[in-house]
């Protein structure tokens, strides 16, 4: 058990290499907060964790966020309380604290979950993410991912004309069948219930693997009806945000019965909260995969290392390390459609405010 801890935090602003479009707007920068822990008798060994807040989407995007971070740091030796129940309303801080404690326990090595992945002998399959934008821009992204060897492409839809998005997906499918390229789409809740049936029928003709969050979160009855009758498997994403009680998690899964659920630890309570969701999903034979919430390489490292311990071959949403101009240098690397960990790699400085 770690004792006599000291803690501090620092804000870091990540800058996107290019504006990245979603159905909820265009992203140009993203703020994260790093937590730094050390034991008072050994200040040289520092554990680092990332609190990956995403403005406008994280449940803990609230005015008192930094105030809560300061409270956690000032009462850091009560970390068992914070991890048990004190941060239920602040899942990204919960995840950051988990990371920092694991890192400190492992001598500040950033090896949080030792496995073949951290030994450099295992890699994790990932999907290639296609951001929304003008048709030419989206087509360029797709061509690049296919040339890089991606076998699973995830395209965000719902921001531009659906016919154009459909034509873009159709152009991929005309060249590659479902056994060659797996196509996933992410609507981020962009479609209305009235329109989505037609859209699902259109997508089914293209052998789409799954659609994430076709309608806005919170509409359990409509979502349950869709999942029961859909020609395209449905994955819940934003639907999981803000649900922390086990009973409520069970109620959501039992009511909606989705084909898949998608886990973003920064949104749903870190490793602890995600592990509970995962267990409940598997008990109901619901598929799942993990994805980052656009964290820096610090948070991505934690998610990737944990995912490597879960014995899954499903492509994960972990290819976000190259999004930023000022990401933290790390041993993580991408080769084709897989993410790996270079045992000879080094970490960049994480102490400077971005």
What Å distances lie between residue 27 and 1, 152, 346, CA to CA? 40, 23, 28
Residue 199 tokens read as 């859209």
* Spatial CB neighbours of 256, under 8 Å, sequence gap ≥ 6: 220, 223, 224, 227, 236, 239
* pLDDT tens digit sequence for 4-39: 999 999 999 999 987 666 555 677 889 999 999 999
Distance, in Å, from the CA atom of 119 to the CA atom of 186, rounded to the nearest integer, reads: 33
Q: What is the pLDDT of residue 25?
A: 66
| Catalytic (active site) residue 3 | no
Helices (H), ranges, the chain: 65-74, 79-81, 91-105, 135-147, 162-175, 193-204, 220-229, 246-256, 265-268, 270-283, 297-307
- Domains of the chain: which residue ranges? 5-105, 124-341
List, for residues 65-81, the tens digit of each pLDDT value. 999 999 999 999 999 99
Q: pLDDT averaged over the chain?
A: 93
pLDDT-derived band at 353, boundaries 50, 70, 90: very low
Q: How far apart are the C-alpha atoms of 182 and 330, rounded to whole Å?
A: 29
29 as an active site residue: the answer is: no
Cα distance between the two ends of the chain: 33
**HEC letters along 88-143:** CCCHHHHHHHHHHHHHHHCCCCCCCCCCCCCCCCCCEEECEEECECCHHHHHHHHH
The predicted structure's pLDDT at residue 247? 98
CATH of domain 124-341: 3.20.20.120
Query: What superfamily in CATH does domain 5-105 come from?
Result: Enolase-like, N-terminal domain (3.30.390.10)
Residue among 17, 264, 279, 335 flagged as catalytic: 264
Per the CB < 8 A criterion, the answer to whether 315 and 337 are in contact is yes
Residue 152 vs residue 23, higher pLDDT: 152
User: Average pLDDT of 270-293?
Assistant: 97
Look at residue 354 and tell me whether its pLDDT is greater than 90: no
Same fold flag, 5-105 and 124-341: no
Residues 245-265 have pLDDT tens digits of 999 999 999 999 999 999 999
More confident residue, 179 or 158: 179
Out of 110, 156, 163, 249, the active site residue is 156
């Amino acid at each position: 058990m770690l004792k006599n801890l000291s803690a501090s935090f620092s804000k870091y602003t990540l800058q996107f290499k290019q504006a990245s479009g979603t159905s909820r707007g265009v992203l140009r920068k993203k703020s994260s907060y790093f937590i730094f822990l050390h034991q008072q008798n050994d200040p040289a060994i520092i554990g680092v964790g990332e609190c990956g807040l995403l403005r406008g989407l994280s449940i803990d995007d609230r005015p008192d966020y930094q105030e809560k971070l300061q409270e956690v740091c000032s009462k850091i030796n009560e970390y068992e309380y914070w991890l048990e129940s004190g941060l239920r309303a602040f899942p990204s801080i919960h995840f950051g604290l988990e990371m920092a404690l694991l890192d400190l326990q492992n001598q500040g090595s950033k090896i949080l979950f030792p496995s073949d992945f951290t030994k450099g002998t295992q890699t994790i399959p990932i999907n290639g993410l296609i951001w929304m934008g003008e048709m030419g821009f989206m087509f360029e992204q797709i061509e690049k991912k296919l040339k890089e060897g991606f076998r699973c492409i995830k395209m965000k839809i719902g921001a531009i004309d659906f016919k154009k998005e459909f034509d873009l997906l159709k152009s991929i499918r005309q060249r590659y069948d479902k056994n060659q390229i797996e196509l996933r789409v992410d609507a981020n809740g962009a479609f209305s219930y009235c329109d989505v049936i037609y859209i699902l029928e259109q997508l089914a003709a293209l052998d789409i693997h799954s659609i994430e969050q076709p309608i806005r979160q919170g509409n359990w009855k409509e979502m349950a009806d869709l999942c029961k009758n859909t020609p395209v498997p449905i994955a819940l994403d934003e639907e999981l945000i803000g649900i922390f009680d086990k009973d409520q998690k069970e109620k959501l899964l039992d009511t909606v019965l989705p084909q898949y659920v998608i886990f973003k630890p920064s949104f749903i309570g870190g490793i602890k909260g995600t592990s509970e969701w995962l267990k409940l999903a598997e008990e109901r034979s619901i598929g799942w995969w993990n994805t980052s919430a656009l964290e820096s390489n610090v948070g991505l490292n934690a998610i990737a290392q944990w995912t490597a311990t879960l014995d899954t071959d499903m492509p994960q949403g972990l290819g976000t390390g190259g999004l930023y101009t000022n990401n933290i240098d790390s041993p993580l690397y991408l080769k084709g459609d897989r993410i790996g960990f270079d045992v000879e790699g080094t970490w960049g400085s994480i102490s400077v405010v971005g």
